[in-house]
């Protein structure tokens, strides 16, 4: 075995499997919950507001891939360069972020998302950092069946954390206190993870999201005309999938600047449809319908009883999740 894998406790080495490096691994996803707790069987990490990224480093080759398997090397070249000097072959999981003061900001990261030219990406002047929180493959061995806490023990030994690549610290206790502190600081919230959990490519109750704010992805199915001095568009008409039907969730008319409004209108003009993609009748003055393949991150205060967003606000576009996978996130009582 690899020298590092030999560090694992004897009872865990039997969970290690020799394997060639896979081209792709489906990321493990956290389940939204309203529960807040401390438990010695769980660890707690800050929830970051960025773009999920899996990194595959083999020999001199580095591949950065989004959740939708889009290549990100040219979007975040400094991250790829930093990982290229790593001694070990690894597959790691983490989040690429940009900072607005002391807080990670998906809105600020928008200035880098979608850029395909590494020189252009660097010229934006937006500094990005890759916070790594999991290790799934190490020097010829698949370690996804090894408990999380042991994978995290190996992680700082397997990856050189410097420059734009950083280790996401965790806490072993005080989940409620850490959550309250995160919310006071204006952070996203926490992710609670069961210490003994294996890494599975699904949404799992072994990883839980404690959110300080309500945000989720929604599909853009249309837009309205601008009024008064507004340019580009008035509001986005958004929804989510339920039973393979696109359900209408309301209109989003705030959170834009002039540049964003014009950019969105340019993108949407090439997607117009004659009929609404929503499953129910939507009556909005000056509505235009579009092919529902663009995903927006939207902040809001709450869901209304009839399934609409209250006080929604546009945060940014997401290209790391297929529109057909966007569903309404409902907090679940999942801890046993």
Torsion of CA 201, 206, 212, 213, to 10 degrees: 40
What are the CA-CA distances from residue 147 to residues 41, 181, 203 (Å)? 12, 28, 17
Which domains does the chain carry?
5-211 (3.30.470.30), 214-325 (2.40.50.140)
**Helix or strand holding residue 127 (H, E):** none
Check if 308 is active-site. no
| Token representation of residue 175 | 């989940």
- Model pTM score: 0.86
What are the CA-CA distances from residue 158 to residues 77, 82, 137, 151, 152 (Å)? 21, 14, 10, 10, 10
Q: What is the pLDDT along the chain (336 residues), one digit of tens a residue?
A: 568 999 999 999 999 999 999 999 999 999 999 889 999 999 999 999 999 999 999 999 999 999 999 999 999 999 999 999 999 999 999 999 999 998 999 999 999 998 999 999 999 999 999 999 999 999 999 999 999 999 999 999 999 999 999 999 999 989 999 999 999 888 889 999 999 999 999 999 999 999 998 899 999 999 999 999 999 999 999 999 999 999 999 999 999 999 999 999 999 999 999 999 999 999 999 999 999 999 999 999 889 989 899 999 999 999 888 999 999 998 877 655
Which one of the listed residues 47, 108, 193, 251 is annotated catalytic? 47
């Amino acid at each position: 075995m690899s020298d590092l894998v030999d560090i694992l406790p004897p009872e865990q080495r039997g969970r290690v499997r020799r394997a060639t490096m896979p081209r792709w691994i489906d990321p493990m996803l956290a389940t939204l919950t309203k529960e807040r707790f401390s438990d010695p069987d769980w660890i707690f990490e800050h929830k970051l507001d960025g773009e999920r990224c899996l990194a595959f480093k083999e020999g001199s080759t580095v591949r950065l891939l989004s959740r939708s398997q889009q290549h990100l090397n040219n979007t975040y070249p400094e991250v790829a360069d930093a990982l290229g000097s790593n001694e070990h072959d690894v597959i790691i999981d983490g989040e690429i972020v940009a900072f607005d003061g002391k807080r990670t900001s998906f809105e600020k990261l928008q200035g880098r998302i979608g850029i395909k030219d590494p020189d252009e990406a660097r010229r934006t002047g937006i500094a990005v950092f890759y916070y790594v929180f999991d290790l799934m493959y190490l020097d010829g061995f698949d370690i996804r069946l090894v408990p999380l806490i042991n994978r995290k023990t190996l992680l700082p030994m397997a990856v050189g954390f410097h420059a734009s690549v950083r280790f996401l610290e965790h806490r072993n206790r005080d989940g409620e206190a850490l959550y309250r502190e995160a919310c006071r600081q204006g952070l996203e919230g926490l992710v609670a993870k069961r210490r003994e959990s294996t890494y599975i490519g699904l949404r799992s109750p072994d990883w839980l999201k404690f959110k300080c704010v309500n945000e989720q992805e929604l599909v853009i199915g249309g837009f309205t005309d601008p009024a008064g001095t507004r340019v580009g568009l008035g509001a986005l008409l958004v929804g989510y999938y339920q039973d393979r039907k696109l359900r209408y969730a309301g209109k989003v008319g705030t959170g834009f600047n002039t540049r964003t409004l014009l950019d969105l209108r340019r993108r949407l003009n090439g997607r117009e449809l004659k009929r609404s993609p929503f499953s129910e009748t939507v009556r909005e003055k000056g509505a235009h319908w579009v092919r529902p393949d663009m995903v927006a991150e939207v902040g809001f205060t709450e869901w209304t009883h009839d399934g609409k967003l209250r006080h929604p606000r546009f945060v940014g576009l997401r290209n790391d999740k297929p529109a057909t996978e966007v569903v309404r996130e409902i907090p679940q009582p999942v801890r046993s």
